[in-house]
């Protein structure tokens, strides 16, 4: 037990250090990006143009890794508030709609009135990541269905897609840092999402069938209105 406490203290110090470093790395990256963009816009040389585009893409990837990591490892204290799940999800759906429809997919949602406690910015991050993953898993003209309902004292949020699905081995690897099957993936989105939901006393379940689609179910302890 003592060892465990010691270990978790050590981990949280490490996490804070990593978050500080990630934060500090952001500034020089942003500056380098600015100069690269300048060089790119100035060059008449085709090879230089190609190289600067590649370098900028890699910088974007580094930036994405840092932001996704910082989202969960932010040193500041969590903001805990009452979240209206229905309003929250409607907002997330409208934020992600342009991205989803640009890929030719449709979104369908059925949302009940539910309340949970948590940091709404972090919950937004989880939902955007799951919806983005769903959209990216569909090759063309698919459907994303989002349901929110109450079950056994939990708010259940389901995100279903008609995408490529996953096999057993891929399912096992979900949530491992840097596990990604995408050319430009960070492999951090799910790890961060799992941690955020676990910190709320919740859990994420996944069901998937190759070639058929995937269902992510996010369970968060329900905030009983009557207990307010």
Q: Does 223 engage in binding with ligand ADP (CB under 6 A)?
A: no
The one of ligand ADP, Mg ion, none whose footprint includes residue 137, by CB under 5 to 8 A per kind, is ligand ADP
**Cα-based distances in Å from 210 to 45, 71, 169, 190, 201:** 45, 30, 11, 19, 30
User: DSSP class of residue 176?
Assistant: S
- Give CA–CA dist 204/193, Å, rounded: 9
Q: Does 171 engage in binding with ligand ADP (CB under 6 A)?
A: no
- Give CA–CA dist 100/105, Å, rounded: 6
Q: How far is the CB of 102 from Mg ion (least distance, A)?
A: 17
Among 125, 133, 208, 223, binds Mg ion (CB under 5 A): 133
The nearer residue to Mg ion, 32 or 67, going by C-beta atoms, is: 67
The nearer residue to ligand ADP, 219 or 222, going by C-beta atoms, is: 219
Which among 204, 130, 192 has a CA at the least distance from the CA of 161?
A: 130
Cβ within 8 Å of residue 183, ≥6 positions away: none
The nearer residue to Mg ion, 114 or 157, going by C-beta atoms, is: 157
The residue ranges that bind ligand ADP (CB under 6 A) are: 129, 133-134, 137, 161, 163-166, 174, 179-182, 185-190, 214
């Amino acid at each position: 037990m003592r060892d465990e406490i010691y270990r978790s203290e050590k981990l949280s110090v490490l996490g804070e250090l990593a978050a500080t470093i990630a934060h500090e790395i952001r500034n020089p990256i942003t500056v380098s990006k600015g100069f690269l963009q300048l060089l790119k816009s100035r060059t008449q040389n085709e090879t230089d143009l190609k190289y600067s585009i590649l370098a900028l893409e890699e910088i974007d990837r580094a930036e994405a890794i840092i932001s996704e990591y910082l989202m969960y490892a932010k040193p500041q204290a969590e903001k805990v508030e009452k979240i209206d799940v229905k309003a929250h999800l409607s907002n997330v759906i409208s934020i992600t709609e342009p991205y989803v429809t640009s890929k030719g997919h449709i979104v369908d949602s059925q949302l009940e009135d539910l309340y949970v406690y948590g940091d709404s910015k972090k919950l937004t991050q989880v939902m955007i990541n799951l919806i983005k993953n769903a959209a990216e898993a569909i090759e063309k003209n698919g459907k994303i269905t989002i349901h929110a309902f109450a079950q056994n004292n939990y708010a259940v949020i389901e995100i279903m897609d008609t995408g490529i699905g996953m096999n057993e081995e891929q399912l096992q690897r979900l949530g491992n840092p840097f596990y990604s099957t995408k050319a430009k993936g960070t492999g951090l989105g799910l790890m961060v999402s799992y941690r955020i939901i676990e910190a709320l006393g919740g859990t994420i379940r996944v069901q998937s069938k190759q070639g058929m689609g995937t269902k992510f179910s996010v369970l968060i302890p329900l905030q009983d209105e009557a207990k307010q």
